[in-house]
Chains A and B, each alone.
Chain A
Amino acid sequence: MTADVSVEGVQPLIEVRGLKKHFPILKGVFSRPAGTVYAVDGVSFHINPGETLGLVGESGCGKSTVGRTLLKLLEPTAGQIIVRGEDITGHNQGQMLPYRRQMQMIYQDPYASLNPRMSAGEIVGEPIVIHRAVTADERHDRVAALFERVGLRPELMHHYPHEFSGGQRQRIGIARALALSPELVVGDEPVSALDVSIQAQIINLLMDLQDELKLSYLFVAHDLAVVELLSHRVAVMYLGRIVELTDKSSLFEMPLHPYTEALLSAVPIPKYSARSRKRVILKGDVPSPINPPTGCHFHTRCLYATARCQAEAPQLREVVPGHLAACHLHDGGVKFPLEKPAAGA
């Protein structure tokens, strides 16, 4: 069953249903299975053409794994990935080729994601070579145009990655992702390694490119302020599951999941007046995805948890039209602001 809400009959560019990615933990010389990391444990969402879906959560919540599995850089353990109505989950490498052109990725670390032995021009042109998109003559012009588009001087094509600053490298990574005119770009924390003033430049560039090229983004990040700025809709993940999914204004104004509420409240706001606000401070650490808590994964840190939360995992469901949350608190009707149910309720 898809738990996501499709809007006004638009065919989603991409849709995932019940996506799971589990990693076995192997021990010893004979690689005996010794456990499982439940990195992604049943997530469903879609992304419409031209839209940005923000995917937020803390380290280890599985957000990056979702991004990678979506592009089939990792094979999903279960679930379906549907591109423009076609199920690509079982596609082999060859069958995936045309889809790879349409779906590209930008990585977090601008230092580790560029081959140091290739010039910037070769890096950006490589996808064009692999997919034989244009002839060799046209390739140079194409790469030069991409350089200009992302704000790099085309003369820099012959320089090597170490000659660029972090922000410039990230521009190279973006140019490479755009080389095949994709429809979907997955950004895995693309601005979190950058200094603030450079981060703003890259965020603006990503927004401009989306407007101009009608790109769809899956924007994976931990910084809620950045996600708010870039996204149309936002999914919040906790320990492998989506706990809340809605358009960004609903999420930031009316968080319906206790984890979202705490996350929003924990983000430091760069305004002096912000220091007087009331804050929700969670106790404890994020539990391990190897051995997640029973029932609702969040119950160990939740301020509103009841005995039921320990036993029964809440389904992600539409609590308010267009606003999905996975929390038992709303079973008797929407509760906002959130409050702990009276004893015995």
Chain B
Amino acid sequence: MTADETAAAPGPAILEIDDLRTHFFTQTGVIRAVDGVSYTVRAGETLGVVGESGCGKSVTALSVLRLVASPPGRIVSGAIRFGGTNLLDLSESEMEGIRGNEISMIFQEPMTSLNPLMTVGRQIAEAIVLHRGLSPRAAMDKTVEMLRRVSIPEPERRLHAYPHQLSGGMRQRVMIAMALSCNPKVLIADEPTTALDVTIQAQILELIRELQDTFGTAIVLITHDMGVVAENADRVVVMYAGRKVEEASAKVLFEAPGHPYTRGLLGSIPKLDVAARLDARRNRLNEIKGMVPSLHNLPEGCTFAPRCEFATDQCRAAYPPLVQHRPGHAIACWHADRLLTGAT
């Protein structure tokens, strides 16, 4: 839904990630993939989570469903509250009642997340039988209905198709049908359209918006694509090197970003931009210098400082706290006040 202007009719919080730390214990040392991340998902909203490879956005999501491979990974501390319970306290069998039922997930590459040896109909029906206790026949009917919902043509016939017989866009539709078949409260979509062509991406994003309107599902949209976030999210969390560096409504984040990393990211992406087109010369992009630090060897202080044009000794000495600068707009930067009031 293109909820405009005030995305500030927030529903109640249904999923709260609180100071989550997920670390990987490898032979070469401890990797702090997620290092103190908190965010809240409200009923019915779309929360965008953005960042570059290795920023911890996917590991955070996998931690919510307790799908982090262990070993080497382990949730070291924190809480994930869903409907009053801390998911980290649940037993594995209790967790199975949550996964795919209350909280579902779709992944970037549908080919690797579907079972190649099972028809898509059986895969979807399996989840319905498991979580909803329907008879196999009733589950098949429900499956056909779900395939129709995600606009798969001839759903009765596609039921018997194997994943390799479908196109990438169709497979992603099957994943979405499966994820929504038990009417979850939260859908975590991890780069759901990254592997797809733009015209297919547009179809899938539109489908997700429509289904959200119909089912009222809250969506966590994890992506590296700022355009996808700008057009789909109500609120946005920006992550860098395992931490949340900024959180704001989509409008504020794109129109008045506070963190130098967010500003850098927005400056470094080419936009289909009329103003730039009038200038016959091609404009250089504003690049962020250097590269994302290795999680093996994070710098002291603010992890973004080595790449930041505003960095001072204070930044290099200590990691800045996450501060609410305005309601709903939190930034982890020592110089956020100066940046927000100064030049935009």
Instruction: Report which A residues bind B (CB closer than 8 A).
Output: 58-59, 165, 167-168, 195-201, 203-204, 207-208, 222-226, 228-230, 248-249, 252-253, 262-272, 274-276, 279, 281-283, 285-286
Contacts and interface: CB of A to CB of B under 8 A. Distances in A.
Q: In this complex, which of B199, B201, B251 has the most chain A Cβ atoms within 10 angstroms of its Cβ? A: B199
Nearest to B55: A195
A268 B287 contact: no
B271 A207 contact: no
B270 A225 contact: yes
A224 B268 contact: no
Contact of A274 (B53, B230, B265, B291): B230
Contact of B270 (A167, A228, A281): A228
29 contacts: A58-B197, A58-B198, A58-B199, A196-B226, A197-B287, A199-B269, A200-B268, A200-B287, A203-B270, A223-B270, A228-B272, A229-B270, A230-B282, A252-B277, A253-B277, A263-B198, A265-B202, A266-B202, A268-B231, A269-B227, A269-B271, A270-B226, A270-B230, A271-B271, A272-B250, A272-B255, A275-B231, A281-B206, A285-B200
Interface in B202-231: 202-203, 205-206, 224-231
B109 interface: no
A283 B203 CA distance: 8
B326 to A, nearest CB: 16
Contact of A285 (B167, B201, B226, B277): B167
B274 interface: yes
Given A58-B197, A266-B202, 5 more contacts: A207-B284, A263-B199, A268-B201, A268-B231, A279-B202
A208 to B, nearest CB: 8
B193 to A, nearest CB: 9
Q: In this complex, which of B53, B170, B202, B284 has the most chain A Cβ atoms within 10 angstroms of its Cβ? A: B202
B283 to A, nearest CB: 7
A200 B269 contact: yes
Contacts of B169: 285
B254 interface: yes
Nearest to A204: B284
A201 B231 contact: no
A262 B198 CA distance: 9
Interface in B36-57: 52-53
A203 B285 contact: yes
A208 B227 CA distance: 26
Nearest to A191: B270
Contacts of A226: 270
The 3 closest A-B CB pairs, nearest first, are A268-B227, A200-B268, A58-B197
B268 A285 contact: no
Contacts of A208: 284
Nearest to B206: A281
B227 to A, nearest CB: 3
Contact of B272 (A196, A225, A279, A281): A225
A271 B226 CA distance: 8
A266 to B, nearest CB: 4
Nearest to A228: B272
Contacts of B2: 275-276
B62 interface: no
Contacts of A265: 202
A203 B203 CA distance: 29
- Overall SS of chain A's interface: helix
Contacts of A252: 272, 277
Nearest to B307: A197
Contacts of A200: 268-269, 285-288
Contact of B271 (A262, A270, A283): A270
A342 to B, nearest CB: 27
Nearest to A167: B291
B285 A204 contact: yes
A228 B202 CA distance: 20
A207 B196 CA distance: 27
B266 A248 contact: no
Given A167-B291, A197-B265, A207-B284, A224 B198 contact: yes
A295 B266 CA distance: 42
A167 B197 CA distance: 23
B292 interface: yes
Contacts of B199: 58, 262-263, 266, 281-282, 286
Nearest to A269: B227
Contacts of A253: 274, 277
B201 A204 contact: no
Interface in B288-340: 288, 291-292
B52 A222 contact: no
A196 B269 contact: yes
B78 interface: no
B247 to A, nearest CB: 15
B203 A229 contact: no
B282 A285 contact: no
A264 B224 CA distance: 20
Contacts of B255: 272
A271 B224 contact: no
A248 B277 contact: yes
A242 B97 CA distance: 52
Nearest to B200: A285
B4 interface: yes
B254 to A, nearest CB: 4
B264 to A, nearest CB: 7
B20 to A, nearest CB: 23
Contacts of B264: 197
A59 B169 CA distance: 12
Q: In this complex, which of A228, A263, A275 has the most chain B Cβ atoms within 10 angstroms of its Cβ? A: A275
Nearest to B261: A197
Q: In this complex, which of B198, B200, B228, B292 has the most chain A Cβ atoms within 10 angstroms of its Cβ? A: B198
Given A249-B277, A285-B169, A270 B287 contact: no
